[in-house]
């Protein structure tokens, strides 16, 4: 018996999220077909974090157990990519200890959100970033908003009302805003995230920015634990699941 860890990238545009859903095209349903074909039977797998409809991934991680002993790590990459559609790619495969679990073994997850801050958006960015054309974004002000969300907090104000988690407490280790020419990047690293949490945070920050409200106002929204105060959920296409951190060595790269 082998435990195999896969790192996946996918373009989430044409998927109804990661999780298996009846009669809908999802990342999990495509993986299920490919893994079942190669193994000759249905294979259960675990993912490091589910992504919503339209959300992309560069470093999604899954693991599964198999009795196939005659395939190398590289063979798994080639075999799976030959059965998977072009908008899902296996970019790495490795044999890991049997106790490794893609979800439970996670220390931190990193997401990035991309915004084109311009009058219009290039066709090359259209599927992977949202457009903000109202004004030039003040990166220093956005960073001050982000700093008010660091550490462990109750993020009830910044999650979907449909979120099923009993605890809304999450720990944000790093939250950085940067700009390269007209591309604004939100980089957020946390132990876990609630449903729509990052998209709601981005939407709230942009609303505060538009009104030129002081940085402490986002802290007031956070402490109120009231979803109605945080504004709209921002677009899914700008969000990418970037990386999963499993070891202390990984954390040195943050």
Q: What is the number of other CB atoms lying within 10 angstroms of the CB of residue 239?
A: 27
pLDDT at 194 over 90: yes
CATH 3.40.605.10 fits 108-251, yes or no: no
Please confirm, yes or no, whether 52 is among the known catalytic residues: yes
The CA R_g of the chain, rounded to the nearest whole Å, is: 19
What confidence score (pLDDT) does residue 32 get? 97
Task: Tell me whether the CATH fold assigned to 2-96 matches the one assigned to 108-251.
Answer: yes
* Per annotation, catalytic residue among 11, 14, 32, 52: 52
What predicted TM-score, i.e. pTM, was given to this entire model? 0.95
- pLDDT, tens only, 10-57: 999 999 999 999 999 999 999 999 999 999 999 999 999 999 999 999
Q: How far is CA 230 from the centre of its chain?
A: 20
Q: Domain 2-96 class?
A: alpha beta
Residue spans of the domains in the chain: they are 2-96, 108-251
pLDDT at 113 over 80: yes
The arithmetic mean of pLDDT across residues 106-122, rounded, is 97
Tokens of 109: 């997850």
Which residues neighbour 15 within 8 Å (Cβ) at sequence distance 6 or greater? 25, 26, 27, 53, 54, 87
């Amino acid at each position: 018996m082998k435990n195999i860890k896969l790192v996946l990238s996918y373009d989430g545009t044409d998927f109804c999220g990661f999780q298996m859903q009846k009669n809908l095209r999802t990342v999990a349903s495509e993986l299920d077909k490919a893994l079942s074909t190669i193994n000759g039977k249905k294979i259960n797998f675990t993912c490091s974090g589910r992504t919503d409809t339209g959300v992309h991934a560069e470093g999604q991680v899954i693991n599964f157990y198999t009795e196939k002993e005659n395939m190398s790590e590289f063979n798994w990459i080639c075999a799976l990519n030959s059965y998977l559609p072009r908008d899902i790619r296996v970019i790495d495969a490795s044999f890991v200890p049997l106790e490794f679990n893609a979800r439970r073994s996670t220390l931190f997850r990193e997401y990035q959100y991309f915004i084109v801050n311009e009058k219009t958006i290039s066709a090359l960015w259209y599927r992977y970033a949202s457009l903000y054309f109202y004004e030039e974004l003040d990166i220093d002000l956005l960073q001050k908003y982000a700093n008010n969300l660091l550490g462990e907090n109750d993020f009830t104000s910044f999650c979907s009302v449909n979120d099923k988690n009993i605890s809304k407490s999450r720990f944000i280790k790093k939250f950085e805003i940067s700009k390269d020419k007209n591309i604004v990047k939100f980089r957020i690293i946390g132990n876990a995230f609630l449903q729509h949490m990052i998209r709601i945070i981005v939407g709230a920050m942009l609303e505060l920015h538009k009104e030129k409200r002081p940085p402490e106002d986002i802290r007031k929204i956070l402490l109120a634990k009231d979803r109605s105060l945080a504004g709209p959920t921002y677009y899914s296409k700008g969000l990418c699941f970037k990386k999963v951190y499993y070891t202390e060595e990984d954390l040195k790269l943050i």
